[in-house]
Structure 1
Amino acid sequence: MGGTAGCGVQAAMAIDIREDRVKMGIVSREGNVLFSRRYPWETSSVAGFLDALVLDIADFQRQAEGRWEYDRVGVSMGGWIDREAGMWLYTAKVHGFADPVPLRYLIERATGHPTFIDNDIHVSTLAENRFGIGQIYPNFTYYHIGRGIAVGVVSEGNLIRGAANYAGEYGGYLYDLGGQDGVCRLEEFASGRGMVRWARSLFEQYPHSVLRQADRVGALSPTKIFECAAENDSLATYIVHHVQRGIGLSVVNLLSFTNSEAIAFGGELAGLHGLLPVLTDFIEEHCAAPTRRSLNYIGSGRLDVHEEGMIGAAWLTWEGGGVPPCPGRTL
């Protein structure tokens, strides 16, 4: 989306780093993405990531210069974040990550603007809370299905963060696949990466599966797995059955704990063929009566999955993520 911010329009630069990409945008205080660009996420090393990020920021600012005005930066970052200190504490996605990274300081130096940073799923949940499902239901659960699996829980309008700002890392939910696979983490077979890895590990048991041919030409993906399941491919059907059941059980257990009024599914894989209708039926069948009667909405989040991270990151700069600016930093 292009154009020029008018006089008095408040906007922020947003940086959303998740999945396999970095998205940067200019977002208005009303939650509209005015301009955006996408860059690859360099994961070969921490130094390589930081060098690439600085170059990407410079490129983005050159393109936005003279077109959009902003005076703050919000960052949505995958991994464990100390939002008060602005530190990136851990991620498994960048090779060789060992020591905390002062990400807020580095981005402030690169952009020249005060910066706020938080975990990516927390940021998406905050976006839904401010501009999406939270405007209707003050008690809701955001369930993200992408390359990983995570959740955000909002109670009476407030995001539950946990003691170390690490609440919601739900990919560790345990599920019994049976047989040789046994008990494993939900993310290992039901996330985007997990589905593809699991399919490859089963090729010898399903030598005639269409998925095997798809992998040979670089076309194996979660979308392909669900499409082939709809066409009764035996391996794809087996995988999709466990994905649906594993996510379904995790949702039912989660809702039994949160007693949410709504559950909103987000992430780039939440719209996989037939997934939401199956999950809806599973929830309605297996939730206890009080939990089910409290639940008024089961469905997709209200925001564009490709923009929610940028929208939430921008909103951090006005809400501050609950963290006051450091001394000497003004907004």
Structure 2
Amino acid sequence: PAVTQGNPYQVEVGLIFGGNMPADKPVEVLRFANRVPLMYQQGGCLLTKAIESVDWRQYGLDQPGAKGVPKGPAAILVHLASTNVQFTSEAKEALADNGEVIEEARKAMLEMGRGLRKHLDKKKKMAKTKEKFELINDILPAIAEKSAHILGRPVPNLAGSITKIMSAVISETTTTWNKETKQTDVLITLFNYTSRVRAYTILATWPEKAGAEMIDNETGGRKEATGVWAWKLPSLEPGERTIIGYSLGGLERGDWTETDVFFRGSQDVIGASKMDEKFLEEIRRQERALSEPGDADSTQEEPAEPMGEPTVAPPSGQTTLFGGDV
């Protein structure tokens, strides 16, 4: 929030990336003023000019000459809330220029762009690691089998060799529609390809607000906030694989196609994101705000304390390629 000409205002931005949006066309710009969508005169609007003032090439979007609206499979949402919104005309189709507001909107765009770049870097890193992982899984077993056949010996256990080569903790998530049960099946697989014992709390999003019901959750865990479930994994041995599986009922095919997975722990997990505790706190704050108004007989559910980062005392002298000495 800030003040310009004695009027308080706040700029909110958001970005949707990927999906079925075309990569060779300008990004879709969604403008709002005090929650009212602005449908026309996009080129002459203050909010559009703030978008055009950013060099989006450094954040992974195409922008010839670093001018104009960027191109890419994305949609940018920008909202101005103020007690006195200045429009270019009485039609209220675009916002009038204001240097202070443009600069504030530009700063918000830069912060959002950094988040996009971080997301794309993680995605690229995960793709390379997955390619390496699949290549190793294809080649090593074949070499081991042929060598064992030639020498007349049993095929050795390759978990230790893969651990030395990969030196990473990898998460793979699948979200598929089950035709037989008419449910959405989610499978989260965690591989520990490092030389030491790991411990994590794994969190996943699910469409609770849409009326979905979590079914066959044999791993247990607990609800952290609306639409967020957590499982504590106190010990994940080197070379070990852990599977978290559950189903979602009450949905139609296509309602839920991708599950976001987060983690708490000291070692990065390729394929999952570090849990932002502010995100959880914001959800809980909204829960409290919704539960406060009501009759006196209503009871407010206490928010669950977040599962802390699990710790396991590592043996001395162990190293990983990601973190050096541990």
TM-score, normalization by structure 2: 0.30
Q: Quick check: which one's strand share is greater?
A: 2
Q: Which fold has the larger relative contact order, with Cα–Cα distance below 8 Å and residues 6 or more apart in sequence?
A: 1
Which of the pair is proportionally richer in helix? Answer: 1
Answer with 1 or 2: which has the greater Rg.
2
